Amino acid sequence: MLLVSSSRSGYHHGDLAHALEAAAMQLLVERPAQDISLREVARAADVSHNAPYHHFSDRRGLLKVLAERSMADLVEAVRLAIADAPDPTSAAIDGGAAYIRYAVENPHGFDVIYDPTVCIPGEPSDTMAPLIAELEGQLSRAAASAGFDAAEDVVGIWGLVHGLGTLCAAGHLPLDAALAGYEHTLRRMLPA
């Protein structure tokens, strides 16, 4: 167990890693990942400025953890939406809608997930790779249950929800319009 100096308001951490990650995720709500420093994370967690180096190797290590935690949240949102859907077509629609909503409600988390300097395309971390596979699996199963059977269908659906989520998060498209456009497009794409 790592104890943090009692000179900082008498604060003691039994789980420094959790406290640092929670502080970093809270900062991510307020600002882009690229604007978060290890010193700010330490301040937010009320630990010494050196404490983050016990958990994050460097700033890139911090960004990787933010991306992985954000991806886990996105995967969970999509999984729950699909699981709660009343029928296969609704599962495909609701899973995509959850993806779009996540992008809008968590724009900084969404951005860090897909930051190519953090999650290098073709070389995801050992932690990120299974999360990417799980997200793809959730979307694939929902698409297949709705009648889409080609791998290209899943790529198209993922691209559609990602693009709509990105446009909404950036303020270029209202959420209601994106959700309606996604559902309309998906229903038109459904096999006859």
The string of pLDDT tens digits covering residues 35-46 is: 998 999 999 988
Structure tokens at 23: 């502080």
Q: How confident is the model at residue 14 (pLDDT cuts 50, 70, 90)?
A: low
The string of pLDDT tens digits covering residues 99-121 is: 999 999 999 999 999 999 888 88
Q: How confident is the model at residue 8 (pLDDT cuts 50, 70, 90)?
A: very low
Nearest to 183 by CA among 83, 81, 111: 81
CA distance 174 to 13: 42
Structure tokens at 64: 């990787």
65-95 core/surface letters (b: 16 or more CB in 10 A; e: else): bbbbbbbbbbbbbbbebbeebeebbbbbbbb
DSSP of the chain: -PPPPTTTTT---S-HHHHHHHHHHHHHHHS-GGG--HHHHHHHHTS-TTGGGGT-SSHHHHHHHHHHHHHHHHHHHHHHHHHH-SSHHHHHHHHHHHHHHHHHH-HHHHHHHT-TTTS-TT---TTHHHHHHHHHHHHHHHHHHTT--SHHHHHHHHHHHHHHHHHHHTTSS-HHHHHHHHHHHHHHHS--
CA distance 125 to 77: 21
This prediction has a pTM of 0.87
Q: At residue 82, does pLDDT exceed 90? A: yes
pLDDT confidence of residue 123: 87
